[in-house]
Amino acid sequence: MNETITILTEHRSRRKFEASYQISKTELNLILQSAKQAPSFENGQFYSMIRLVDPTIKEKLVRLNPGNSQIKECSEAILFVADLNRTRTVSEKNQTYYDVTNNYDALIMATTDASLACENAVIASESLGYGTVIVGGIRRNSMEIIELCDLPEFCLPLFLLCIGKATDNPEKKPRLPKEISIFEDRYSAIDYSKICEYDATMKKYRDTGVDRPWIQKFVNFFKSNKLEVTETALRKQKFIK
């Protein structure tokens, strides 16, 4: 097995970091360059990265997300933003009508581009020996982040990547069995027994205190889970009417 495959298959989220550790500028540039070289639809690069270097911003985010102290402790906290403001500027300069509000394909493109860039940054960071964790829960604080980071219209905070010298070593989290997640040519009917088997596996993993059984978690999650703040932020930033 080559080194890249090993890094990918041994990934696990690391949530505790050595707070005083600093990543060198050389390594940081390599991580950022790797992120920027990720695939992008039509090379549009519909995302931006914002390094959070002001300790007060990090502290405010931790107060908003008390379960994510790693935002303050990590060496690098990088906010990934769906960015359609740059192309808005291009259209304005060329006196062309700009129509991306309620353009769900544009939103998917921007989110996909940001996700691919973030994954490249994760792989690059872990290849250099650092730990990473992606904090998606910041979407609950989208309105505050828009203000904290001065995000213009057509920019939406998506997730935060924390990078640093990890001090924890959690078990590798089990993934869904391939029988219900990898198909050939056509989507196959889901064998619920395979989900139950996976749930039993996750119950054993839960003994480590890291996660919950899979079935009940998502029964509860999608029963009533709708982040109204996400819709509010989408409207504020003119992604939807």
More confident residue, 210 or 19: 19
Has residue 140 got a pLDDT over 80?
A: yes
Residue 33 covered by a domain:
yes
Q: Is 196 helix (H, G, I), strand (E, B) or coil?
A: helix
Residue 100 covered by a domain:
yes
**What pLDDT is stored for residue 208 in this prediction?**
54
Which domain CATH number covers 67?
A: 3.40.109.10
Q: Determine the Cα–Cα distance for residues 143 and 118; give it in Å rounded to an integer.
A: 22
Mean pLDDT value of segment 126-148: 96
Residue 151 covered by a domain:
yes
Please write the tens of the pLDDT for every residue from 142-167.
999 999 999 999 999 999 999 999 99
Amino acid at 106: A
Residue 110 covered by a domain:
yes
Domain carrying residue 55: 3-173+228-236
Summary mean pLDDT of the chain: 94
Q: Indicate the pTM of the whole model.
A: 0.94
Estimate to the nearest angstrom the gap between the alpha carbon of 110 and the chain centroid: 13
Please write the tens of the pLDDT for every residue from 4-15.
999 999 999 999
pLDDT band at 73 (very low <50, low <70, confident <90, very high): very high
Residue 184 covered by a domain:
no
Please write the tens of the pLDDT for every residue from 84-115.
999 999 999 999 999 999 999 999 999 999 99
Smallest Cα–Cα separation from 68: which of 131, 135, 130, 19?
135
Stated length of the chain: 241
**What pLDDT is stored for residue 210 in this prediction?**
57
Residue 214 covered by a domain:
no
Residue 123 covered by a domain:
yes
pLDDT band at 16 (very low <50, low <70, confident <90, very high): very high
**What pLDDT is stored for residue 108 in this prediction?**
97
Please write the tens of the pLDDT for every residue from 178-224.
999 999 999 999 999 999 999 998 888 765 555 678 898 888 888 87
Q: Is 21 helix (H, G, I), strand (E, B) or coil?
A: coil
Mean pLDDT value of segment 64-93: 96
Tell me how many domains the chain contains. Answer: 1
**What pLDDT is stored for residue 207 in this prediction?**
55
**Cα-atom radius of gyration of the chain, to the nearest Å?**
19
Instruction: Kindly state the DSSP code that residue 139 receives in the 8-state scheme.
Output: G
Smallest Cα–Cα separation from 123: which of 204, 9, 240, 217?
9
Residue 134 covered by a domain:
yes
